[in-house]
Amino acid sequence: MKRLEDIKRIAIIGAGVMGSGIAQLAAQAGYETVLYDLTRELAANGLKLIAQNLDGAIERKRMTPEGKQEILSRLKATNEFSELVADVVIEAIVERLETKSELFSKLALLIDDDEAIFCSNTSSIPITKLAHGIPHPERIVGMHFFNPAHLMKLVEVVSGTATSPANAQLVYDLSEKLGKEPVMTKDAPGFIVNRIGKMYHTESLKALEEKAAAAETVDALLESCGFKMGPFKLIDLIGLDTNLSVTKSLYEQFHFEPRFAPSHIQQQLVDSGFLGKKSGRGFYQY
């Protein structure tokens, strides 16, 4: 059984906003870190995002240039699947059950170490479903970060029916070493935060569809009530495509309950390529 001190190398799959943020955390915590994506360009873009985050920390006097270089020296960007041999692998890819399950099956063939931990950053798919049919399902643990991963403190640590308590505790301890505040949650669609928080998005989108108020008005009203960020600003930050994928997943997991129904307005924006901050336009222009 792996212990926290046995973890030397962490691999992150998916070099988007979330994956790059997780990779940054691992490198900051002193781990040899591999950031993987399907192409060299995508993987390199993930490193650029990390460098930008670190530059921001330097500007705020929270890091030195030397500290930045030390962190970057622990990071490797790659599109070579064979580089993913590690003590802990964290996937942060598209929110699709079949795609994630296929990835874990490939990892099980690649990594000989039966005690290597496979973590999923899924925000909606039950871990029990992800682990089904995967060799040694006891090592598959939900490790749900929140966007932006390098800043948000919470991590939901989720056990499927086959997850061993020792492995769940190891991921909990690792989350703390990454500077997070982990919480153990039971396996269910959306876990805790997204199951409840999704209503913040879906009800706001319904208000927009019903022309009850403009996106800017909804955001202003909710921020004035104490929310740190209005729902439409938050969706733009997360990415309209990512947010929509989670909504569709929850809608399916909850047997198409109307309260989780995806918004046709959001679908139209995604179809038009308006994905939020990362594309320069979503509900707002950037």
Residues with catalytic roles: 123, 144, 156, 194
Residue type, 214: A
The Cα 193–Cα 182 span in angstroms is: 13
Token pair of 180 as six digits: 């997070």
Cα torsion through 31, 179, 192, 235, rounded to 10: -90
Residues 6+ apart with CB under 8 A from 2: 87, 115, 116, 117, 167, 170
